[in-house]
Amino acid sequence: MQPERVRPLVGVVCDVKMVPPHAFHMAGDKYLTALAQAAGVTPVLLPALTDLLDPTSFVSRLDGLFLTGGYSMVHPRHYGAAPLPDQAYDERRDALSLALINAALDRDLPLFAACRGFQEVNVALGGTLHQALHEVPGLQEHRENKDESLAQQYAPAHPVALTRGGLLQQILSTDTLEVNSLHVQGVATLGGGLEVEATAPDGLIEAVRVAAMRFALAVQWHPEWQVMNHPQQRQLFEAFGDACRA
């Protein structure tokens, strides 16, 4: 294990959740553990207090930024759409993530994002989202079955085709990758400056990179799940950790 003094500091965005009777700023253990174990970095939770703290002030103190998944959705007002009545939103996280993404781009700070974080990157760069993939003709089911065990929910669900010559293919040295699938929303139109890194069999974009940055990778799946048991997903965290150390 690396000495803590040499580990890069990676900011992790927080969700704001009610644990009655109080609100808490939190991030999932699986993300923090994957960052510490597989990426070899020290995760630092960033509170969603944009009304009190300037998120851009965090960036100069960090070596990387990680955007987690979440049970809430990016509020559709950020891409010119109306909210759906059955969706959960976390606008305090939106404000934090969108500000941090833009600050990371300005500083060329290494960035890695999963699921909701992937969607945040697309929206931050002017893209739009399908709010209910299961209602879009031609797209397959991308949601998990919540009646199943976590092991079943996070099991590989479908392959993705990696873009030839892209960052993912360079990291993994393969043309395809089996991924899990636990998302309701997905990319409708791609944000400016993003390059497609992987697509699902139905054509849905599953991974992107910010072309102008040294390392800025966002994936629609959950690479953090039991990452030490999945060598290819571990390679993604290792590559992010290397970028942060650089």
Over its C-alpha atoms, the chain yields an Rg (Å, rounded) of: 17
Task: Say if CB 90 and CB 105 are below 8 A apart.
Answer: no
Catalytic residue numbers, as ranges: 115, 222, 224
Helices (H), 43-154: 56-59, 91-107, 116-124, 150-153
Q: Is residue 102 classed exposed, middle or buried when 0-12, 13-18 and 19+ CB atoms within 10 A define those classes? A: middle
Sheet with 64-67: list strands edge to edge: 42-46, 9-13, 64-67, 111-114, 216-219, 205-210, 194-199, 158-162, 176-179
CA 77 – CA 62 distance, rounded (Å): 29
Three-state DSSP at 128 gives: strand
CB neighbour list of residue 212: distance below 8 Å, 6 or more residues apart: 105, 193
Task: Say if CB 79 and CB 87 are below 8 A apart.
Answer: no
